[in-house]
Amino acid sequence: MASYLITGTSRGIGLKITSILASKPASEVSVVFAASRTESDALKKLIANSSGRVKFINIEVTNEESVKKAASEVKQVVGEKGLDVLLNNAGVMPYSPDGIETMTDLDSTFNTNVTSVHFVTSAFLPLLKKGNLKKVANISTTLGSIAMSQRYALFPVPAYKVSKAALNMLTVQYAQSFAEQGFTFLTISPGWVKTDLGGDSADLTVKQSATGVLDIIIPATTTENGKFYNVRVPGWEK
Ligand code: NDP
């Protein structure tokens, strides 16, 4: 019986992960904190139909005060049981169609995709330390891979690529620092997914991606601490 907190649950992959978790038996999922700066109609509906298992937590991940307030609200609900799983999913992907030399949004993108993940993780660490599972999954992308960068050279999102490469290293830094305390930090690329961010031509439906992400997180143990995973199109070579 695990408690989860997911950021960026107003839409896209975060919303679908929340809905899949909410449909699992109470013996597997006790409570899901849907942390979002916007309570979208879809999220409101999910919460209304969840019999109290999904709870809305207001969070603007770039604002440290908002993040601390969110952690304190979650603490009031979970108490000494703590939080089992944190999923840092909120992210932004701005375009620089005229080339990297015209990139103006590196700071803001880095702030949302990297610095905020650090804010959220550090703010929730005291609760995660009390939890049984001690798992943190950070949602990244193969666009942040230096080894695969040639494949994606023509896709004009340099700030996003730089920020997600940094997120991968942030995750490894946390994994190394908290390995001895029994933590499992994972980096997961959710595949190319049909969302506002991924667009309509993407390979995966949100359901396929969200299911794939959870299939990595749920069985993960400390043996997987610090690893990078990629959700694949069903049938593709692993
Ligand atoms: P969406 O654009 O559909 O959703 C992004 C979510 O992040 C929204 O809930 C949004 O909230 C939230 N968010 C953004 N900025 C903030 C902020 N400052 N504070 C709080 N919430 C914020 O994206 P996806 O669902 O597609 O992406 C989710 C994650 O998956 C991202 O980290 C993305 O980089 C990653 N990813 C996605 C891929 C894809 O193909 N879709 C591929 C690889 C990785 P709001 O509604 O309020 O704006």
Q: Supply the DSSP string of the chain, one letter for each residue.
A: -EEEEEE--SSHHHHHHHHHHHTS-TTTEEEEEEEESS--HHHHHHHHTTTTSEEEEE--TT-HHHHHHHHHHHHHHHGGG---EEEE--------TT-GGG---HHHHHIIIIIHHHHHHHHHHHHHHHSSS-EEEEE--GGG-STTTTTTTTS--HHHHHHHHHHHHHHHHHHHHHGGGT-EEEEEE--SBSSTTT-TT-SB-HHHHHHHHHHHHTT--GGGTT-EEEPPPTTS--
Per-residue confidence (pLDDT) for residue 233, from 0 to 100? 73
The answer to whether 188 touches 137, Cβ cutoff 8 Å, is yes
> Does residue 152 carry a catalytic annotation?
no
Percent of the chain with pLDDT over 90: 97
Report pLDDT digits (tens) over 86-135: 999 999 999 999 999 999 999 999 999 999 999 999 999 999 999 999 99
- Taking residues 198-213, report their average pLDDT: 97
Per-residue confidence (pLDDT) for residue 235, from 0 to 100? 66
Query: Is 12 a pocket residue for ligand 1 (Cβ < 6 Å)?
Result: yes
Going by alpha carbons, the residue nearest to atom 9 of ligand 1 is 8
Report pLDDT digits (tens) over 140-192: 999 999 999 999 999 999 999 999 999 999 999 999 999 999 999 999 999 99
Residue 227, phi-psi category: left (phi > 0), alpha (psi -120 to 50), beta (remainder): beta
The bridge status of strand 135-139 relative to strand 184-189 is: parallel
Per-residue confidence (pLDDT) for residue 20, from 0 to 100? 98
The answer to whether 95 touches 143, Cβ cutoff 8 Å, is no
Report pLDDT digits (tens) over 4-22: 999 999 999 999 999 999 9
Per-residue confidence (pLDDT) for residue 236, from 0 to 100? 62
Q: How far is the CA of 114 from the centre of ligand 1 (A)?
A: 13
- Best CA proximity match to 7, nearest among 119, 98, 97, 132: 119
pLDDT at 237 > cutoff 80:
no
Q: ipTM score here?
A: 0.99
pLDDT at 193 > cutoff 60:
yes
Query: Is 29 a pocket residue for ligand 1 (Cβ < 6 Å)?
Result: no
pLDDT at 84 > cutoff 60:
yes
Q: How far is the CA of 93 from the centre of ligand 1 (A)?
A: 8
Query: Is 66 a pocket residue for ligand 1 (Cβ < 6 Å)?
Result: no
Q: What is the arrangement of strands in the sheet containing 184-189, beginning at the earlier edge strand?
A: 54-58, 29-36, 2-7, 85-88, 135-139, 184-189, 228-230
The answer to whether 16 touches 206, Cβ cutoff 8 Å, is yes
Per-residue confidence (pLDDT) for residue 186, from 0 to 100? 98
Q: How far is the CA of 15 from the centre of ligand 1 (A)?
A: 10
| Cross-strand bridge partners of residue 32 | 4, 54
CA 81 – CA 117 distance, rounded (Å): 23
Computed over every residue of the chain, the mean pLDDT equals 96
Query: Is 144 a pocket residue for ligand 1 (Cβ < 6 Å)?
Result: no
Catalytic residue among 4, 95, 160, 229: 160
Burial degree of 76 (CB within 10 A; 0-12, 13-18, 19+): exposed
Query: Is 227 a pocket residue for ligand 1 (Cβ < 6 Å)?
Result: no
Query: Is 212 a pocket residue for ligand 1 (Cβ < 6 Å)?
Result: no
The atom of ligand 1 lying closest to the CA of 143 is 43
Q: What is the pTM of this model?
A: 0.98
